Every structure is written in structure tokens, then in C-alpha cells.
Copies of this chain bind each other. A is one copy, B any other.
Amino acid sequence: MSYSAPLKDMLFNIRYLAGIDQIAQLPGMEDAGFETAQAVLEEAAKFNETVLAPLNWVGDQNPTSWKDGMVTATPGFKAAFKQYTEAGWQGLQHPVAYGGQGLPKTIGSAVGEMQNSANMSFALLPLLSDGAIEALLTAGSSELNAIYLEKLVNGQWTGTMNLTEPQAGSDLAAVRTKAEPQPDGSYKIAGTKIFITWGEHDLAENIVHLVLARVNGAPAGVKGISLFVVPKFLVKADGSLGARNDVACVSIEHKLGIKASPTCVLQFGDAGGAVGYLVGQENRGLEYMFIMMNAARYGVGVQGIAIAQMAYQKAVEFARERIQSRPVDGSLPAAGPIIHHPDVKRMLMTMRAYTEGCRALASVAAAAYDAAHHHPDAQTREQNETFYEFMVPLIKGFSTEMSQEVTSLGVQVHGGMGFIEETGCAQYYRDSKILTIYEGTTAIQANDLVGRKTARDGGQTAKALAAQIASTEAELTATATPDALVMAKRLAAARLAFIEVVDFVSGNTKAHPNAVFAGSVPYLMLAGNLMAGWQMGRALLVAQEALARGEDVAFMQAKITVARFYADHILTKVPGLRDSIVDGAACVTALALDAF
């Protein structure tokens, strides 16, 4: 299956919506202007199109396999990972001090999308390393970081996140893995972790497990969880590898999708205790883990966009080639390619509008992340941080939920051929199903949106966003083009619905938690839809201006059409969600438990 990176759309977002040239004015980001973005993305496109994409189907057909505790990756993955690390892709967004390139997330996010379009199973490996790097940068001691960071950044070693246990999935309070302090300052780790992505493999010299565990005597619940580094091979003082640590991969899962990425059961401490090193302070593990999880949640949202893009490309390709029936408007003399049929266009437009909307939102959020980390003004940093934090559950939840609708439409466009595995689009349908589950299910994202992002500040952040959207509406209305007027109208209806829901949520979370949480996922879907639609509204404005300048006419016209489609076909779902959330809460929880 060939992949062609949507460079133009990415660069449009980066330039006009995310404002890369403003990011390049931030201290330490001087080299990260539009030209850098363009150069990096072109290089990334080449790498992902030619090296990773050809291995995607191979990985589905020849999943990574387990034998006697050893995990062997899909043929071709090892060589590809070598190329990947040698080209420096692992270090793209990481500090120059540790050998990275220190590029902004605004650029890194687009590169991440490409990797995941090309090969989601593969891309999970560097994504998990990113998380481990993030956690160490946040809380690792200088000694620990001196040993581990550079090799994680250059890809010599890879990282994992060990949260889940058989009895502790979404509920980390239930974590049981034990950590026993040793005289030398290290800990002995013992317990079972499941669903550990790339928890064991043969692509790197060492694996750096970041493990949640409880120190003896720690408080119950999430306040007693600490974070540890547990390397697969112990590291000697000179940085060379020593003995195998007491951590074993006892099996890997047989999964619906992302089959080339091993999902491991890891057993820590069966032979006396795995050696672990505390990251930061005891009992603050969840806090650190959240930092790395937030990065990973954003990354999973991008995976949704990535797989949606791939499904779209494949569907367009098929729709251009497959001849079936004469168009209903008689525009062809006989049967023609199915892309001529209005319903096929509707499916392709739906796929594209969702993908472009979510991509635009992710790009804008990435820019806020960069400003939050690099802007010299504290208030501006905080504003951007608040914006980014509000968007993370939406990007994770909405982009991944939409990706399942998009990959399903991708199969549908293919008709009967779509159901045949060799066609390839069924893989995207299968792969995408994990995205609404891992790194926190959609419901977990929705809890975050309701609790920390909406109720905590009484809906203030949400209302401020609504005010920004109203400004965009005013700008659209001022241009007075038919497309802009429709967009303004749909945005306004969605914004008003959003405000009502925000009031409902912030007004009832304490007194009527069941009512609010009955609508938490619909609220996430509503908010995600609106925020992505808002970016499509901004994109429409930019495209109108660019058209007036005669710039890139075909692209800008298409952008306007896609934005208009988003307004009429996706934003129109919002008011109905308001009705469900605000009026329909009671019946969600009314049924007696034994009546289910």
C-alpha cells in the first residue's frame, strides 16, 4: 500500500493556523521557521513513504512473534529501525543537550503523523521512547538521566510504559507491583504488568522500562505509587551493558490489530527481584506518569489522524479505479469510476473533513505546547498551557473516535473488496480500534475533560474558548461569502450548544455526578467536533484570503469546500448531542442493574 504524505495540508496548518513563524521567534526556536518545517517534512515524507510504509502490510501478515521469552519483530523492522535512528528521527523533538534536534512540537507532530500513517505498529516504538524520555526529563535525577537519556534519544535503547496490571487497567489506584528499597539506593521490583507495547523485542540493545510500583508501606490508592526505571540489561558504570535484569516477557497477545507491535506480559522479579531505580520522589509516580501520558495521549490522537489519512488515500485510489454503474446525473455515457457517484463522494468528503479538521486542531494545539514551554512571558506560557491542556483529551478522544468512523467508511468505499484482507483497508479498520482504548479510553479522556478541564475552573477556560470562536464567526460573517456565512451559522449553533453543556457540566458535577458523567463522552465528542470545526472555520478564512492573492488556487478552493462540508455535515451533529447531554441524562442511569 503506497502512502503519500499530505505535505501541503500539513504545511498550510503549520504556517497559517499554528503560526510557525511566531514559534521561530521564541527563545531556542530560532531555527524552526517555515523553511525548516518544509525541509524536515519533505525529508520525513521521503523516509516514511519509502522505508516504513512498505512494511505495514508485511507486519500485519507476519506479526512480531514470541518464543521462549524472546520476541522477534516482523522481518524488515530491525533494518528500518536502524535507518530510523541513524537518520536521527528519534531525537527530533528532544533536547540538543542529549543529542536531539530540539525542534518544536508543531513540526514534530506532523512527522509523527507521517510515521503513523506509514506504519502504526512500527511508530509505537519511538512513541513509547518519547514518553520515557519525557518522564526522565521531568523527574529523573541527573545521574539517572546521564545514564539513560542520550541512548534513548539516539534510539540505541528504547523505552516502555508499564502501568497496567491484570486488575488495574483504567484504575491505577489498584496497582500492586511492589518496590522494596535496597541498601544501595536501588529497589527490588516484583509484579506483573500487562499490555506493555514493545515491552520486549530485538530491535535495540536495551529496553528502559518505566514502571509504576508501590514502595513498602506507601499509602493506598494513587498517592502511593512511585515511578521506576527498570532496564532490561543492567548498565555498568561505564555505560556498557551488564547482566540481564529480572524481567521476563512471558507472552504476547493475539490482537485484533497493530499486530506487528508486540503487546507483552512482563513478569518482574520472579528470580529474586528486578533492579529498579526511583524516578524523582517516592509516591509521586502518578504525577510524573501523567506528564508522559499527556504527551502520549496527544500522540495517540495523532495516530487517529494518521490512520484516517491512510484510509482516505486508499479509498480515493480505489474509487478512481473501480468502474461501476453510470453516474446518476448522466455525466458519463456509460459506467464510470465510482468516485463519480455522489454517495462515494460523500464518504470520501466525510473522511477528509474529519481528518483535516482534527489535523488542524492538533497542529494548533502543538503550537500552544511550544509557546507554553518556550515563551518568555509567564502569563502567555500559562495561557498556552491551559489551551493545550484543554485540547489534549479532545485530540485523543475525538480524533480516535472519528478515525474508527473514517476507517469503516474506507472499507465501505471498497465494497466487497474491502472485506477481503489482501485489499488492505480492513487492516486500518482493525488497527484503529485500539486508539480509543489505550492511553486512557475515551471515557477516561472525558472524565479529564469534565473534571480537571471544565468543572475545576467553573467552565472558565471553555467559555473563553467559546468567545474566541465567536470572534472567528464574526470574521467569517464579515467576509460575507456564502461558504463563510454557512460556516459562521453552523459554528454559532454548535458554540451555543457547547456553552449550554459547559454550564450543565460545571453546574452539576458535584451535586449530580451521575447526570454529568452520563454525558461525558457525548460532551467530549461535541467539544472535539466544535474545536476541530473552529479550526476549519479559521482555515476557510485563510484560504479565502490566499485565493484573493491568487495563491495556490486549487488547494485553497479545496480547503474551502472541505470546510463547508465540515460545517454542513459534521458540525450539524452538535445540537443533537446537546439535547442528549442536557435533557437525556436521567434515562442513562435509570435502568435497574439486574435489568441489563
Contacts from A to B (Cβ < 8 Å)? 164, 167, 169-171, 173-174, 194-195, 253-257, 316, 319-320, 323-325, 328-329, 335, 339-346, 348-349, 352, 404, 408, 411-412, 415-416, 418-422, 426, 429-430, 433-434, 436-438, 441-443, 446, 486, 513-514, 517-522, 554, 557-558, 561-562, 564-565, 567-569, 572-577, 579-580, 583-584, 587-593, 595-596
**Complex contact A422–B561 (CB within 8 A):** no
Given that A420-B253, A433-B429, A518-B345 are contacting pairs, would A584 and B558 also be in contact in the complex, using a CB cutoff of 8 Å? no
> Which one of B339, B422, B569 lies within 8 Å of A580 (CB-CB)?
B569
Task: Kindly list the 10 A-B residue pairs having the minimum CB-CB distance in the complex, ordered from nearest.
Answer: A568-B584, A342-B517, A342-B518, A343-B443, A328-B513, A171-B325, A256-B426, A558-B595, A572-B576, A572-B579
The CA of A254 and the CA of B343, in the complex, are separated in Å by 27
CB<8 Å pairs between A and B, sample of 19: A167-B323, A170-B325, A174-B324, A255-B419, A255-B421, A319-B596, A329-B513, A341-B443, A342-B517, A342-B588, A342-B589, A345-B589, A348-B596, A349-B587, A416-B437, A418-B437, A564-B587, A564-B590, A569-B584
The CA of A587 and the CA of B559, in the complex, are separated in Å by 12
- Closest chain B residue to A316 by CB distance? B596
Given that A343-B518, A565-B584, A580-B568 are contacting pairs, would A592 and B558 also be in contact in the complex, using a CB cutoff of 8 Å? yes
- Closest chain B residue to A580 by CB distance? B569
**Complex contact A412–B434 (CB within 8 A):** no
The CA of A256 and the CA of B423, in the complex, are separated in Å by 10
The CA of A513 and the CA of B327, in the complex, are separated in Å by 10
Given that A443-B343, A573-B573, A595-B558 are contacting pairs, would A419 and B349 also be in contact in the complex, using a CB cutoff of 8 Å? no
**Complex contact B169–A345 (CB within 8 A):** no
Main secondary structure of the interface of A (DSSP, over half): helix
Shortest A541–chain B CB gap in Å is 17
The CA of A554 and the CA of B593, in the complex, are separated in Å by 11
A319 cross-chain contacts in B, Cβ below 8 A: 596
A171 cross-chain contacts in B, Cβ below 8 A: 324-325, 335
> Which one of B164, B343, B419, B443 lies within 8 Å of A446 (CB-CB)?
B343
A517 cross-chain contacts in B, Cβ below 8 A: 328, 341-343
**Complex contact A415–B169 (CB within 8 A):** yes
The CA of A574 and the CA of B572, in the complex, are separated in Å by 10
**Complex contact B596–A339 (CB within 8 A):** yes
**Complex contact A349–B591 (CB within 8 A):** yes
- Closest chain B residue to A583 by CB distance? B568
Shortest A595–chain B CB gap in Å is 4
**Complex contact B446–A254 (CB within 8 A):** no
A174 cross-chain contacts in B, Cβ below 8 A: 324, 335
Residue of A328, A404, A421, A596 ringed by the most chain B CB atoms within 10 A? A596
The CA of A51 and the CA of B348, in the complex, are separated in Å by 43
A565 cross-chain contacts in B, Cβ below 8 A: 584, 587-588
